[in-house]
Chains A and B, each alone.
Chain A
Amino acid sequence: MKKKNRRVASAFYFMVIPMALLFFTLHTLPFLQGVFYSFTNWKGYGKWAVVGLRNYIHIFSDPDIVQAYGFTFYFALFATILVNLFSLLLAMGLNARIKLKSTLRAIFFLPYILGNLIVGFVFKFIFANLLPPIGKALGIASLSVNILGTDNAWLGVLFVTVWQSIAFNMLIYLSGLQTIDHDLYEAADLDGATGWSRFKNITFPLIAPFFTINMVLCVKNFLMTFDQVMAMTGGGPGTATTTVSVLIYKRGFHGAQFAYQSADAVLLFLIIVAISLFQLFVLEKREAKLA
């Protein structure tokens, strides 16, 4: 009798299998194909042969790829730190009985709903036409020219990426802060804990799970940065702001490097998995310690 109860009705299999097959065909299969092609020399057309690990070995001595990874890591690091810092500050600012609270929250969340590409275009105009006169008036040389055409182009892309990403992370922190019981703060007040010590000992440990989510999501998203770069610099000047995703797109589709860029893509995948797992492991361990 008990055994019969545990049998799964066949209807449940029918609910899952069609979509699972579609997912396998359209998502997993291309992924496996990509892995396979990364061991070949296919250009995207014509004949090909299996070349073993040659693409992977070549990647590490290819200045363009090394530069793209260097830039992507650098960029993701800065973006993650800045987004988390500002979105947490903003969430704490909004998490009080202030006037206009819901209006302010709605305004700060607005960037999330706007398309990356158009936001990139608007800021491109600001950097090219509005900022240089201000920079000149203030006598700041690096701001007197279009920042996107200089060595500082990455700062422009970073600014826009942070501007847009704060919105979503702020909302996650805000929902974390709202789970904290107000009595806790009053108890802390009585104990004389204010400011930094209150944040360090009460607020942060309690929102640690939200910090974990934000860190993992940020790193993963920023390692895949694409839209903002395409909108603002196209990867330039030169190759200064070319991220790995941009490189895969440009060379894979237009540079006859299908197999070679597949190896690049597989490497990106391995790096993202490794970093995400590492983060989850380290941050969850620390969460456990804080709790």
Chain B
Amino acid sequence: MIRHRRKETLRVRTLVLSVLAVGLILFPLYLTIVIALKEPSDMVQVLSWPKNIRWQNFADAWNMVQYPQKFTNTFLITIFALIFTILTNSIVAYAISRNRKKSRFFNVMYYYLISAMFIPFAVIMLPLVKLASILQIDNIAGITFLYVVFGLPMNTFLYSGYIKSIPESLDEAATIDGANPWQIFTKVIFPLLTPMNATIAIFTFMWTWNDFLMPLVLLSKPTQQTLQLSQYVFQGQFSTDYNLAFASYLMALLPIMLFYLFGQKWIIGGITKGAVKQ
């Protein structure tokens, strides 16, 4: 009897969740796709499937925002930020977390970086933009560099939590075998960091691909703009040509959605790992 009722509530629950998922999450996506595929004259019944699919919207948006250039910029920023974040931030976190108890210097470094997490970007952005133009890092290479450096507080926190769980006896054994700290890190520790590297890679990817504020204040030259920023910059020119605008939005969303479609389990798993560590 009880068992039967429980089955019934589970069925109701599944139904409610499915309706919510379709109505609240998938509906806006459907709308985006439909509008991107329609002709302007077909907009009276916005929600209906397009009478004629108009691929021209994509071609127009492609040319207007110069998609290949914006995509390349975003892609380069994301990939290089990701690679260098993993290579450099992990080594900093390793040195800090292995020596915090032994030396005050490393302990101070730990708290220095962690406390910087409380500084919102809006607080440093005015002086940073001045500094960036003096150092000539107000371009895609520079912003990549900034992502690698600005990720340090959060990543040090995540990596150290993970490194703590790797027994120090491994380091000691390698030392006895004659390995120096660099060799210990590259040969012993780094391979063991793979799950946390994956988590940090995902966070870095999401952050750099979707970021709007940093590109907005740092990348003023049109040739340097990212996909997100170009959607903002072209708002005026899209004006009420929603089909063109939505084709452009969809093209900006598509790479990350494809990535999610195929790596969904891996992404959710990686982010959960990071979230629990926090």
Contact = CB atoms under 8 A, between A and B. Distances in A.
Given A12-B95, A19-B149, A272-B118, A27 B32 contact: no
A100 B18 contact: yes
B123 A231 contact: no
B49 interface: no
Contacts of A224: 120-122
Interface stretch (A90-98, A150-158, A281-289): A90-98
A50 interface: no
Interface of B: 10, 13-14, 16-18, 20-21, 24-26, 28-29, 31-32, 35, 46-47, 88-89, 91-92, 94-96, 98-99, 102-103, 105-106, 109, 112-113, 116, 118-131, 146, 149-150, 152, 180-182, 185, 206, 209-210, 212-213, 216-217, 228, 231-232, 235, 242, 245-246, 249, 252-253, 256-257, 259-260, 264-265, 267-268, 271-272, 275-276, 278
A98 B14 contact: yes
B120 A269 contact: yes
Given A9-B181, A253-B126, A122 B14 contact: no
B45 to A, nearest CB: 11
B126 A258 contact: yes
Given A113-B267, A174-B272, 12 more contacts: A15-B185, A23-B116, A23-B149, A108-B25, A112-B271, A117-B232, A121-B249, A122-B249, A217-B278, A230-B216, A245-B122, A258-B126
A8 B152 contact: no
Nearest to B238: A121
Q: Indicate the member of B28, B130, B209, B252 with the most A CB atoms within 10 Å.
A: B28
A118 B249 contact: yes
A109 B268 contact: yes
Interface of A: 6-9, 11-13, 15-16, 19-20, 22-23, 26-31, 33-34, 37, 44, 90, 93-94, 96-100, 102, 104-119, 121-123, 125-126, 129-130, 163, 168, 171-172, 174-175, 213, 217, 220, 223-224, 226-227, 230-231, 244-245, 248-249, 252-253, 258, 261-262, 265-266, 268-269, 272-273, 276
A290 B222 CA distance: 55
Nearest to B24: A163
Contact of B131 (A26, A213, A245, A249): A26
5 contacts: A31-B119, A93-B13, A98-B14, A172-B275, A273-B118
